Structure formats: structure tokens, C-alpha cells
Amino acid sequence: MRVFQSQKKVLDINCLNGDGFTPLMLATRDLQFFERHAAQMSRNYSPVEVVAALLEARAYVPSTTYNFA
């Protein structure tokens, strides 16, 4: 997340992946997975920090569909 924040180009923080999920949705939907596999990960992953950074970057919270209007 910090790498993306340090870039000077404009990023769409509400972009959708191929399955229609935003970064915020992905950061919050698999918390149990990351908690179970935390010891195996080479980096310390903190979902709370990722969500906070996404919200700071103006992630659209109510987005649950493809339409952001």
C-alpha cells in the first residue's frame, strides 16, 4: 500500500478486479485467511492498516456493485 501511495501518478482506488471486487472489498473479505496464514507470510500484513490507507485515499465504502454512481 505504501508503494502505491508514494507514486506520483493518479490511481483509481475504486478500480474493480476481474471478479468485480474493489481493493477495499478484498482487504476486508478474507481476514480469516490472512489471520490463519500470517506466520507463513514473509511480510507483516495488517488488514487494519490497509483499510485505513484505502479510506485515507478515498475508497468508496458503500460500493457493493459495479456502479459507483
Residue-level pLDDT at 33? 74
Residue 68 has pLDDT above 80, yes or no: no
Domain range summary for the chain, segments of one domain joined by +: 13-56
The conformation of residue 47, written as its DSSP 8-state character, comes to H
- In angstroms, the Cα distances linking 6 to 10, 23, 28, 37, 53 are 11, 17, 23, 27, 12
SS (H, E, C) 12-43: CCCCCCCCCCCHHHHHHHCHHHHHHCHHHCCC
23-61: pLDDT as tens digits = 888 888 877 777 777 777 766 777 788 889 899 988 988
Q: What is the mean pLDDT of residues 2-14?
A: 68
Residue 3 has pLDDT above 80, yes or no: no
Residue with more model confidence, 21 or 30? 21
C-alpha dihedral sign at 50, 54, 13, 18: positive
Indicate the pTM of the whole model.
0.65
